[in-house]
Amino acid sequence: MKDNLFPYFDFYYFFSGKIDAFGNMILFYPKKRIKNLKISFIGKLKKNFLFLNERYKDNDGLIYRHWKFKKISKNTFYGYEKDLVGKALINIKKNHLIMNYKYKINYKGFSFLVKVNDCMFLIDTNTLLNKTRISKFGFLLAESLLIYKKL
């Protein structure tokens, strides 16, 4: 069987330019509910960095995030954003990306840290499937499933 059914995930290539993502998030706490998500990205390469502007819209409102990613090796990157604690670690193997980080969120006037685990799978050069798990103290708070389309 052929081992390369899917293309290699070139992180800088995929996130350069315009990308739209859409899908749903299931929140398990404080009560189970489903949010609709629509996210737009614009990425620009400058020297060894990828700058990614994110427009995140869900049922509760709109959030803007500004990410910066630095290539460490062919398959390893660090990500930075103002609400991250430390940096996000990104590892790529073939068409699969794993990104782990701690993120500060606000909920009803309270701010707390959550652990985020993103798993992304490149389906073709312009399509990405993303599953995210958000947890606190080992308890799953939310999960999302998104499709990303490079425009």
The neighbour count for residue 112, using CB atoms within 10 Å, is 10
* DSSP state, residue 12: H
pLDDT tens per residue, range 60-102: 899 999 999 999 999 999 999 999 999 999 999 999 999 999 9
pLDDT tens per residue, range 7-47: 999 999 999 999 999 999 999 988 899 999 999 999 999 98
Strands 84-93 and 17-27: unpaired
3: in domain: no
33: in domain: yes
Q: Look at residues 97, 91, 150 and name the one whose alpha carbon lies nearest to residue 126.
A: 150
4: in domain: no
Q: How many domains does the chain have?
A: 1
123: in domain: yes
122: in domain: yes
Q: How confident is the model at residue 106 (pLDDT cuts 50, 70, 90)?
A: confident
pTM for the model stands at 0.91
CATH number at residue 27: 2.40.128.20
CA distance 133 to 114: 10
Q: Which domain holds residue 80?
A: 11-145
